[in-house]
Amino acid sequence: MYLDGLIRLVLVALLLAHYARAGNVTNQELVGKVAKRRLSSDLHMSITEALYMAAIIIPSKEDPTRRVCSGFFLHEYWLVTAASCFDGREVGDRKAVVIYGVDDYTAETINEVGSIRVWLHPEYDAPSGANDIALIMLHRSNKVLMDKSEIVKLDDYAYTYNNHDVYSCMGLGFGKNIHNDTLLHFNLYDIYYDLDACGCRRNNPGTLCGNLQLMEGLCLNNFDKGGPLICGGLVVGIGSTNYRCKTEKVYSLCYKENYFTFTYLCNHFQWISK
């Protein structure tokens, strides 16, 4: 499913000047937090470089511990994220609190908006991860403002499936991780649209797949579930899942063994536009 002509998908730039004192950290404070937690500063960025990003907190009555995913704004009151963030939640329990405009989602801030409703893709399949995309509608709030100068363009170009090309891309998010990292971060990936790529053998035209590029620091310290995959300056995918590649080869570096899948946005424009 491809759309004709150039499609402009407006990603919200949140005007934070009025709320800067409400929890967002300065660059100096960000460096301090990174150093204190012994994290890799090379993987972190300021929210001012990605004002469309948000942390999505998903509470549950059965599970009081909150689940954290990433997402990004399509409109002033709409976000997109991964449907798998809501696995195990009944329809009535699919709720989210969106935290935006901060580098650290644990910071004290007034920049929080609750969801009105969460829509999972009607053909989302949890076991296979197919159609792993969800839309979140927010309560209207005068705290959320749109700056139309901040837009990301998505056109009707589609990658050629199974063409063996490799694309250098960046993923952003507030990923769930085991290293106490609650700051906005990025990872660099080599992305494939290739059925035969190691770890992508069950891939389908609705999914992009790849692994981390070689980099120093902690391996697999973050994964950007629900966050945007940006290739060539365009948002092309949504972080879905990661898994270990099943191969007879033994690698000494874990970035070679672990693969990541991203929901391909181009295949879902029609559903999003509804």
Most distant CA atoms of the chain, gap in Å: 55
> Which pLDDT value is given to residue 233?
81
91 contact partners, CB below 8 Å, separation of at least 6 = none
The CATH fold of domain 51-151: Thrombin, subunit H (2.40.10)
**In order along the chain (274 residues), what is the average pLDDT of each group of 10 residues?**
34 32 42 46 75 86 74 87 90 87 85 92 91 92 55 56 80 70 87 68 76 60 81 89 64 61 89 85
pLDDT of residue 181: 76
Per-residue pLDDT, 204: 73
The domain 166-266: what is its CATH number?
2.40.10.10
Secondary structure letter of residue 66 according to DSSP: P
Q: What is the pLDDT of residue 74?
A: 84
Q: So what's the pLDDT on residue 252?
A: 45
pLDDT at 154: 54
Surface-to-core class of residue 197, CB atoms within 10 Å of its CB (0-12 exposed, 13-18 middle, 19+ buried): buried
pLDDT at residue number 196: 62
Equal CATH topology for 51-151 and 166-266: yes
Burial level of 263, CB count in 10 A (0-12/13-18/19+)?
buried
What is residue 188's three-state secondary structure? strand
pLDDT tens digit sequence for 85-104: 999 888 877 889 999 888 88
Pull the structure tokens for residue 122: 């009607």
The pLDDT of residue 35 is 42
* Helix %, strand %, coil % of the chain (to 5): 15, 35, 50
- Output the pTM of the full model: 0.78
100 sits in which H/E element: strand 97-100
**Distances from the Cα of 87 to the Cα of 19, 137, 165, angstroms:** 33, 18, 32
94: CB partners within 8 A, 6+ apart:
86, 118, 120
CB 189 within 8 A of CB 171: yes
Q: What residue spans define the domains of the chain? A: 51-151, 166-266
Question: Distance (Å, rounded) from C-alpha 21 to C-alpha 35?
Answer: 22
